[in-house]
């Protein structure tokens, strides 16, 4: 079938669909930059050349071509991206209104194909498409030949003007969608709140191409992109870093523009429709703190007691924690039970976290801690001035004392100040008041404060 296809195209194919060198830079946002070096055999003068082995989701407007052998004398005059691929629907559609051999009631007859239809797998298996003695056999039909324009794989077709013929070492770079990565972390915490943290890079390739023996780079950060037009508009057819780096297990990390770049220190293969995981970091014996938080908004009235949130915190400072920029991702936390078997304790998403920041993970709700938020009174002192009395009741059913931080969210559109409070408090921001409360085992503590709103 390749001979049939190439005869129909009548275009030279790039010598080898495999790159001599391949570099893959993957972003968080379902986007990758592919850079490859291939050797092409070119004729002197203007010619068409087909470049295969590119992904189905390539963005053709981002393609950049360069001949290292003759960069000034070899230029691209035109470029077409052909992705009208061979399948049952596209093949039969080309024969609409033409005579074909079809299997009718168990016998082969010459018929005129009015519509290819869309049979389900239950009604008629889609099966294979074969070339037998120059004829195309497809479930229930025999077609005389392969129509022009259908391809076995996506192809870039260039109109090149080469000043010199022969072997050219060429560079090709382009952006493709369908390739992204995320960070996944596993934290194992003990009863003394010391944790071991392992980070994994999870690559997901749905771009329509394998990347063999590629040098892999990952960009952590949110790169601004212009929102593309919806894919539905496309009809089938044609269309310096010089900074100190830090070794992070298999990856090397460095500053890149306003982002962070992670380079795998070996080649790897990323296959189409595959998820691949590569270890990013491994850090043991990190000191963590378990916090308890009871959050409410000012005028909230709880009809029933609510559980208190459990938050696990640790520092991303060198000497205290991993001490490297942590890409955004999901952190899953485990702890051993009395039998020494790990059990899942909760998970949370973290944003891109620079070195020196703290990581806070909301893991769930504490079973033995409860709280109730009540608005006791509202006194209007003027047209714009109101005083409110708030009560928060905290109960600890654990066999040990804990500190629960009461977080009160204040209205952003009003000025406020606390007139009285039963416990020490801290104004964290223009919208938040925090009151740390020590609650002994099997004890109930009531917090009460008065706030003036203007």
Task: For domain 286-311+354-453, give the CATH number.
Answer: 2.60.40
Cα distances (angstroms) measured from residue 120 to each of 62, 124, 142, 293, 378: 38, 6, 20, 55, 67
CA distance 393 to 292: 14
CB-CB contact of 433 with 405 (8 Å): no
CB 429 within 8 A of CB 438: no
Count of CB atoms situated within 10 Å of the CB of 160 = 23
Contacts of 120 (CB under 8 A, 6+ apart): none
Residue pair 65/131 in contact (Cβ under 8 Å)? The answer is no
**Would you state the pLDDT for residue 127?**
46
- Closest C-alpha to 207, from 272, 251, 259, 159: 272
CA 306 to chain centre: 35
Annotate 412-428 with b (16+ C-beta within 10 A) or e (fewer): eeeebebeeeeeebeee
Give pLDDT tens digits for 226-237: 755 444 333 333
> What would the pLDDT profile of 50-66 be if each residue is shown by its tens digit?
888 889 899 999 999 99
Asked if residues 437 and 406 have their Cβ atoms less than 8 Å apart, the reply is: yes
**What single string gives the DSSP state of each residue in 98-158?**
SEEEEEETTEEEEEE-S------TTTS----EEEETTEEEETTEEESSPPTT-BSS-EEEE
**Which is more confidently placed, 99 or 449?**
449
Q: How high is the mean pLDDT of the chain?
A: 83
Question: CA-to-CA distance for 359 and 366, rounded, in angstroms?
Answer: 19
Q: How confident is the model at residue 139 (pLDDT cuts 50, 70, 90)?
A: low
pTM exceeds 0.75 for this model = no
CB-based contact 237:157 (threshold 8 Å): no
- Select the highest-mean-pLDDT range: 43-47, 88-92, 104-108, 144-148: 43-47
Strands 179-189 and 329-336: parallel
Tell me which of 147-161, 167-181, 213-227, 295-309 is least confident. Answer: 147-161
Q: Which of 222-226, 279-283, 330-334, 397-401 is predicted with the least confidence, judged by mean pLDDT?
A: 222-226
Per cent of the chain over pLDDT 90 is 60
Residue 2 pLDDT more than 50?
no
What pLDDT was estimated at residue 407?
Answer: 96
Can you tell me the distance from the alpha carbon of 200 to that of 335, in angstroms, rounded to the nearest whole number?
Answer: 19
Radius of gyration of the chain (CA): 32
Compute the distance between CA of residue 12 and CA of residue 48 in angstroms, rounded to an integer: 7
CATH 2.60.40 intervals, the chain: 286-311+354-453
Q: Would you say 220 and 238 are in contact if contact means Cβ atoms under 8 Å apart?
A: no
pLDDT score for 254 = 84
pLDDT of amino acid 8: 36
User: Could you read off the pLDDT of 348-382 as tens digits, one per residue?
Assistant: 999 999 999 999 999 999 999 999 999 999 999 98
Closest C-alpha among 429, 370, 368 to residue 394: 370
> In which band, very low, low, confident or very high, does the pLDDT at 164 lie, cut at 50, 70 and 90?
very high
What is the percent of the chain where pLDDT is above 70?
Answer: 78
Other CB atoms within a 10 A radius of the CB of residue 385 amount to 13
Distance CA 183, CA 77 (A): 42
Token digits of residue 308: 């208190």
């Amino acid at each position: 079938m390749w001979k049939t296809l190439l005869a129909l195209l009548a275009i030279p194919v790039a010598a080898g669909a495999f790159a001599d060198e391949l570099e893959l830079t993957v972003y968080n946002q379902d986007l990758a930059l592919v850079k490859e070096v291939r050797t092409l055999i070119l004729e002197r003068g203007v010619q068409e050349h087909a470049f295969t082995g590119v992904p189905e989701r390539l963005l053709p407007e981002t393609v950049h071509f360069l001949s290292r052998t003759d960069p000034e004398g070899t230029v691209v005059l035109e470029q077409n991206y052909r992705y009208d691929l061979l399948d049952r629907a596209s093949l039969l559609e080309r024969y609409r209104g033409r005579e074909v051999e079809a299997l009718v009631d168990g016998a082969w007859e010459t018929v005129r194909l009015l519509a290819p239809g869309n049979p389900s797998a239950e009604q008629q298996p889609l099966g294979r498409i074969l070339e037998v003695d120059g004829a195309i056999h497809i479930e229930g039909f025999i077609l005389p030949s392969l129509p022009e324009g259908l391809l076995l794989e996506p192809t870039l077709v260039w109109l090149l003007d080469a000043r010199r013929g022969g072997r050219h070492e060429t560079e090709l770079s382009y952006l493709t969608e369908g390739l992204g990565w995320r960070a996944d972390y596993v934290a194992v915490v003990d009863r003394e709140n010391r944790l071991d943290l392992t980070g994994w890079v999870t690559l997901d390739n749905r771009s329509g191409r394998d990347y063999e023996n590629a040098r892999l780079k990952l960009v952590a950060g949110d790169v601004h992109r212009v929102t593309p037009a919806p894919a539905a508009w496309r009809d089938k057819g044609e269309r310096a870093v010089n900074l100190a780096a830090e070794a992070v297990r298999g990856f090397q990390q460095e500053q890149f523009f306003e982002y962070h770049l992670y380079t795998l220190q070996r080649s790897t293969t990323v296959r189409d429709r595959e998820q691949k995981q590569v270890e990013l970091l491994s850090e043991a014996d990190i000191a963590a703190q378990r916090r308890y938080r009871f959050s409410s908004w000012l005028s909230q009235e709880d009809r029933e007691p609510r559980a208190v949130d459990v938050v696990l915190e640790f520092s991303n400072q060198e000497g205290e924690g991993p001490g490297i920029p942590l890409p955004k991702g999901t952190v899953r936390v485990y702890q051993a039970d009395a039998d020494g078997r790990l059990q899942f304790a909760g998970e949370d998403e973290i944003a891109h976290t620079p070195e020196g920041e703290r990581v806070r993970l909301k893991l769930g709700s504490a079973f033995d801690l409860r709280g109730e938020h009540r608005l006791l009174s509202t006194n209007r002192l003027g047209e714009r001035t109101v005083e409110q009395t708030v009560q928060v009741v905290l109960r600890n059913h654990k066999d040990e004392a804990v500190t629960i931080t009461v977080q009160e969210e204040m209205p952003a559109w009003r000025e406020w100040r606390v007139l009285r409070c039963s416990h020490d408090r801290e104004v964290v921001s223009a919208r938040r008041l925090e009151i740390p409360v020590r609650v002994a085992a099997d004890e109930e503590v009531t917090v009460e404060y008065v706030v003036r709103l203007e």
